[in-house]
Structure 1
Amino acid sequence: MKRFGKKKELYLSDRQPLTPLGVVLLIVSYLILFGWAFIIIWPLTNMVISAFNGKQEKYLILNSIYEFSFKHFRYLFEETLYLTWVKNTILIAVVTALLTLLIVSFTGYAYSRFRFKGRKASLMAIMLIQTIPTFAGITAYYTLHSIVSDVVPGFSRQMMLILIYAGGGIASNTFILKGYMDSISTELDDAAKIDGCSNMQVYRLIIMPIVRPMLAIIALWSFIGPFMDYLLPRVLLTSPESYTLAAGLYTLMNNRETLNQPAFAAGGLLTAIPIVILFAALQKQLISGLSQGSVKG
């Protein structure tokens, strides 16, 4: 005999239906997300509009009449050292990213796979280094540059800036990459060593393909750093010809002689292009690297 009763609703998962309080919290969460998105998108939208608005003069006027024009971009290329700043920034960013990747990949592997004296103490030192703000060492950077420049002729302030960026990136990313490598089973290492692989071959053939997504992230953030930083280039670099983009573009905001806020917006828009290109180039590595490396061929 069939039992007739209230038909139970079926769910595709074990998640329970939202309670009234849950619905309220969900609505509040969406409101917060929409508000946060508006806070981010609104300034970016005005920056793009102002960069192409020919009616803008030296100051940004959000409600001004709009007239499409490239005059602010022409001002950047003709009246400022924008191309020199771009060259300086890309050079510093590329060298910083390569130097950071080269050292971090080895230090992360060493801390993850080897046990040596002073390992825990040095890891603790790496963690403590991150608590010291960068600007606190500006005096030390000046002193160090003067010492190194006396020993190594031609050691420029831009080289010093590269070492500062790379040094800070090595300290933080070593700890991150070490934790990522710890999640990789050591059985893969043992199987490779049974086949006759050395430690370097294990590192190159097994570990590197698996950690490729994390290396791509480290490369991306190391490259972005010099584009975003203003304080260190402004303090360490003394001539406009040696400025990075952040320090150079800021002269369009705080200098009465070169004040041009719409040109600053145009420069900020162009600054994002190299970062977007690098992100697009590394996107494939971020996705495909997760599924490669552990398959033995």
Structure 2
Amino acid sequence: MKQFKEEKNLYLSDKQPLSISKKFFLMMSYIILICWAIVIIWPLFQMILSAFNGKQEQYLTLNDPFVFSFKHFKYLFQETLFLKWTQNTLFIALATAVLTLIIVSFTGYAYSRYRFKGKKVSLMAMMLIQAIPTFAGITAYFTMYSVISAINPAFTRQMMLVLIYAGGGIANNTFILKGYIDSISTELDDAAKIDGCSNLQIYRLIIMPIVKPMLALIALWSFIGPFMDYLLPKVLLTNPESYTLAAGLFTLINDIRTINQPAFAAGGLLTSIPVVILFIVLQKQLVSGLAKGSVKG
């Protein structure tokens, strides 16, 4: 043990110092990273500052003195449908995340562990579907909505959005989860079968606990999507009361009748709260997945 420590210290002490060129590239890397951080942080800082600045009126200006106030938040809750937009977005985001997780957990496991006819063709078809822009299928979405709503009048445009988001997420995340499950040794499955476990028990008791970090990441991606997307809600949702946060808040900067840029900044700040809360809840799973990946192999 003592000899090992001496060899380790010797190795560290014998490490060659950085050359002038390496020092230059290291310095340039730090400069680029610092500049990139400023580019990202500065708009966020201005958004937070404007959201709480009572001196800001309809338009954002950088030269107004700062006076702490909640008036822009009061405007959101009293003069707009912000609470309704939040409710709509949370419903769509949660439904999308749950539906995507349930289906992807089965499809990823099936494509990884089973051999069946049409497996390669269906995987290739899912990959090609991802190459088609979402907006290109807007006519098909309206047609599907008309057919489904004719059969079931209770089917809403928000439910249609859930199907669109989940459909796109399932195709993409199936590839990701399949690759993750492929890295799990099939010897675990064989040992469980020897102990009398069925395929469903193997899926529930062995595979799912191992892939929890990846499922947490998929849930986070699926949840964030409806918060970030503006185009589809704006096209499919025609009633302002059915808008999501992205479509609703956009009316505060593109409609001259309701324009209020500081309130838009306040709404953007509040919109980030559910995403941050979910990230904190899933942080343990996400970090454990990164730690496992760092020592894998």
User: Scaled by the length of structure 1, what TM-score is found?
Assistant: 0.92
Give the 3 Å change call, closer, same or farther, for CA 81–73 of structure 1 in structure 2.
same
Give the Cα–Cα distance (whole angstroms) in 2 for the partners of residues 15 and 157 of structure 1. Answer: 63
Task: State the shift of 1:18 in Å.
Answer: 2.5
Number of the residue aligned with 1:6: none
Number of the residue aligned with 2:295: none
1:72 aligns with 2:75: no
Task: State the shift of 1:153 in Å.
Answer: 1.6
Determine if contact 1:100/1:170 at 8 Å carries over to the other structure: yes
The amino acid that maps onto 1:191 is A
Number of residue pairs aligned between Structure 1 and Structure 2: 284
1:55 aligns with 2:59: no
Determine if contact 1:253/1:261 at 8 Å carries over to the other structure: yes
Number of the residue aligned with 2:232: 232
1:222 aligns with 2:222: yes
Number of the residue aligned with 1:295: none
Give the Cα–Cα distance (whole angstroms) in 2 for the partners of residues 133 and 199 of structure 1. Answer: 37
Summarize the alignment of residues 12-51 of structure 1 with structure 2, pairs less than 5 Å apart. Answer: 12=12, 16-51=16-51
The amino acid that maps onto 2:142 is Y
Give the Cα–Cα distance (whole angstroms) in 1 for the partners of residues 150 and 274 of structure 2. Answer: 35
Number of the residue aligned with 2:143: 143
1:264 aligns with 2:276: no
The amino acid that maps onto 1:95 is A
Number of the residue aligned with 2:133: 133
Give the Cα–Cα distance (whole angstroms) in 2 for the partners of residues 36 and 255 of structure 1. Answer: 32
Give the Cα–Cα distance (whole angstroms) in 1 for the partners of residues 98 and 271 of structure 2. Answer: 20
SS of residue paired to 1:12 = helix
More helix by share: 2
Number of the residue aligned with 1:122: 122
Determine if contact 2:57/2:260 at 8 Å carries over to the other structure: yes
| Unaligned 5+ runs, structure 1 | 1-8, 293-297
Give the Cα–Cα distance (whole angstroms) in 1 for the partners of residues 116 and 14 of structure 2. Answer: 47
User: Scaled by the length of structure 2, what TM-score is found?
Assistant: 0.92
Number of the residue aligned with 1:3: none
Number of the residue aligned with 1:4: none
Q: Deviations over 1:4-35 (max 9, x none)?
A: xxxxx944399654222211111111111111
Give the Cα–Cα distance (whole angstroms) in 2 for the partners of residues 36 and 286 of structure 1. Answer: 24
Number of the residue aligned with 1:166: 166
Give the Cα–Cα distance (whole angstroms) in 2 for the partners of residues 105 and 55 of structure 1. Answer: 51
Number of the residue aligned with 1:111: 111
SS of residue paired to 1:104 = helix
Give the Cα–Cα distance (whole angstroms) in 2 for the partners of residues 25 and 291 of structure 1. Answer: 29
The amino acid that maps onto 1:12 is L
Summarize the alignment of residues 87-98 of structure 1 with structure 2, pairs less than 5 Å apart. Answer: 87-98=87-98
The amino acid that maps onto 1:96 is T
Give the 3 Å change call, closer, same or farther, for CA 231–187 of structure 1 in structure 2.
same
Give the Cα–Cα distance (whole angstroms) in 1 for the partners of residues 154 and 243 of structure 2. Answer: 17
Determine if contact 1:216/1:285 at 8 Å carries over to the other structure: yes
Give the 3 Å change call, closer, same or farther, for CA 132–101 of structure 1 in structure 2.
same
Give the Cα–Cα distance (whole angstroms) in 2 for the partners of residues 11 and 67 of structure 1. Answer: 58
The amino acid that maps onto 1:30 is Y
The amino acid that maps onto 1:102 is I
Give the Cα–Cα distance (whole angstroms) in 2 for the partners of residues 65 and 224 of structure 1. Answer: 34
Give the Cα–Cα distance (whole angstroms) in 2 for the partners of residues 19 and 173 of structure 1. Answer: 44
Give the 3 Å change call, closer, same or farther, for CA 90–17 of structure 1 in structure 2.
same
Determine if contact 1:210/1:290 at 8 Å carries over to the other structure: no
Q: Deviations over 1:24-50 (max 9, x none)?
A: 111111111111111100000000000
The amino acid that maps onto 2:141 is Y
Determine if contact 2:100/2:169 at 8 Å carries over to the other structure: yes
Task: State the shift of 1:289 in Å.
Answer: 6.2
Summarize the alignment of residues 165-204 of structure 1 with structure 2, pairs less than 5 Å apart. Answer: 165-204=165-204
User: Structure 1 vs Structure 2: percent identity of aligned residues?
Assistant: 74
Task: State the shift of 1:288 in Å.
Answer: 4.4
Determine if contact 1:100/1:166 at 8 Å carries over to the other structure: yes
Number of the residue aligned with 2:6: none
